[in-house]
Amino acid sequence: MGSIRIEGLGRNFGGVTAVDDISMEIRDGDFLVLLGPSGCGKTTLLRMIAGLLEPTGGRIVLDGEDITGTPARKRDVAMVFQNYALYPHLSVARNLGFPLRVRKVAKDEATARVDEVAQQLEIAHLLDRKPKELSGGQRQRVAVGRAIVRNPKAFLMDEPLSNLDAKLRTATRRELTDLHRRLGATFVYVTHDQVEAMTMATRIALLNRGSVEQIGTPEEVYDRPASVFVAGFLGSPAMNLLDATVLSARGAVRAEAPGVRADLWPGTTEDIDVVLGVRPEHLRPGIGTEPVALIATVDSVENLGSEEIAYCTVGDAVVCVRSPRPIAMRAGQSLTLTTDPEHVHLFDRASGRRLE
């Protein structure tokens, strides 16, 4: 078991609030990705879970036991660092066995366990080498192996792929997902890379300025972003976000912005300033009579091989359209863009939160 409950956790550095009163439940067996822009508090939160940093307030509970004051080496969690933090003077075998020696595991048992983990990660042929004699990808495996070797309740990983080249990163993503499945353990994984988060996470916690904006499966956070921040962070190209006004009259609701008309659901009684969001892949050329219509002029079209990205002017905003090729749009063309009403996201402009 490896459930982690975080209750009102906070951490200040002088005047800076790095983590601001965060509460969340990380379930046993989750692959929870802490995602967010640089400086949002991901590493600070992970280091507090690891016991490498003391919280200013709040509690951390591992499997029902309050570990807030427990020293790092006594917590049943293992950390994989971005720079791998291998001991340069020790062989791979001794690096892998290090956590077992610290815990005074009998030598035979430790050797057997190191061999087992080395087989599992396909690094058995490297056991006699020193870290400097390894490639980046091999070092990364040794770092993961050193975490696995003592069967911790949870693995904490801080951007473990960021030192690998793009191709190796893709392959290693799959390996980590596979490892998570095989071990059935809890993973807490820090990254600012949305592709890593979308492809590996069972759940994503999106952080912004020390707070959690949303927690959910990759599909939930992508399909129903809880805030303008989440909507703009996930997706490439990013979601189109336009300032609009919702006008409700006689039970009908219409969102309007320069060049935009969206007849949506009935029921709202208030007029309200909103941010209207549509993902680039949900826009397509229309005939103008659909419930959602954007009057657009195509500025430029980028050909990415498998798809094309068109940048259009709508009112005074730039709207991006993503289509599989061949696309029906050319630079200079005027047209109406449309989407299905269920693909229109509305956020309260004042609070930034999603409107139902």
Note the residues at the interface with ligand ATP (CB under 6 A): 13, 16, 18, 36, 38-44, 192
Q: Rounded to the nearest whole angstrom, what is the least distance from the CB of residue 209 to ligand ATP in the complex?
A: 9
Query: Which one, 36 or 99, has the nearer CB to ligand ATP?
Result: 36
Q: Rounded to the nearest whole angstrom, what is the least distance from the CB of residue 163 to ligand ATP in the complex?
A: 14
| Residues 345 and 277 sit within 8 Å (Cβ to Cβ) | yes
Q: Where are the alpha helices (DSSP H) in the chain?
A: 42-50, 92-102, 107-120, 136-148, 166-183, 194-200, 218-223, 228-233
- Cα–chain center distance at 24: 15
Q: Rounded to the nearest whole angstrom, what is the least distance from the CB of residue 43 to ligand ATP in the complex?
A: 3
Question: Which residues, 6 or more positions from 33, have their beta carbon under 8 angstroms from its beta carbon?
Answer: 189, 190, 191, 196, 197, 200, 201, 203, 204, 205
Query: Which one, 81 or 311, has the nearer CB to ligand ATP?
Result: 81
Query: Which one, 233 or 347, has the nearer CB to ligand ATP?
Result: 233
Q: Which amino acid is at 346?
A: L
SS3 assignment, position 105: coil
Query: Which one, 18 or 275, has the nearer CB to ligand ATP?
Result: 18
Taking CA atoms, 151 is separated from 27, 74, 99, in Å, by 17, 14, 10
Q: Rounded to the nearest whole angstrom, what is the least distance from the CB of residue 192 to ligand ATP in the complex?
A: 5
| Residues 322 and 280 sit within 8 Å (Cβ to Cβ) | yes
Query: Which one, 44 or 186, has the nearer CB to ligand ATP?
Result: 44
Query: Which one, 41 or 259, has the nearer CB to ligand ATP?
Result: 41
Q: Rounded to the nearest whole angstrom, what is the least distance from the CB of residue 10 to ligand ATP in the complex?
A: 12
Number of helices (H), then strands (E), in the chain? 8, 20
Q: Rounded to the nearest whole angstrom, what is the least distance from the CB of residue 355 to ligand ATP in the complex?
A: 28
Q: Rounded to the nearest whole angstrom, what is the least distance from the CB of residue 218 to ligand ATP in the complex?
A: 19
Query: Which one, 18 or 93, has the nearer CB to ligand ATP?
Result: 18
Q: Rounded to the nearest whole angstrom, what is the least distance from the CB of residue 352 to ligand ATP in the complex?
A: 19
Query: Which one, 44 or 338, has the nearer CB to ligand ATP?
Result: 44
Q: Rounded to the nearest whole angstrom, what is the least distance from the CB of residue 38 to ligand ATP in the complex?
A: 3
Strand partners, 300: 311
> 3-state DSSP helix/strand/coil percent for the chain, to nearest 5?
30, 35, 35
> How far is the C-alpha of 222 from the C-alpha of 198, rounded, in Å?
9
In sign, the C-alpha dihedral spanning 224, 229, 233, 239 is positive
> How far is the C-alpha of 228 from the C-alpha of 342, rounded, in Å?
17
> How far is the C-alpha of 73 from the C-alpha of 50, rounded, in Å?
9
Query: Which one, 162 or 248, has the nearer CB to ligand ATP?
Result: 162
Tell me, what DSSP letter sits at residue 54? Answer: -
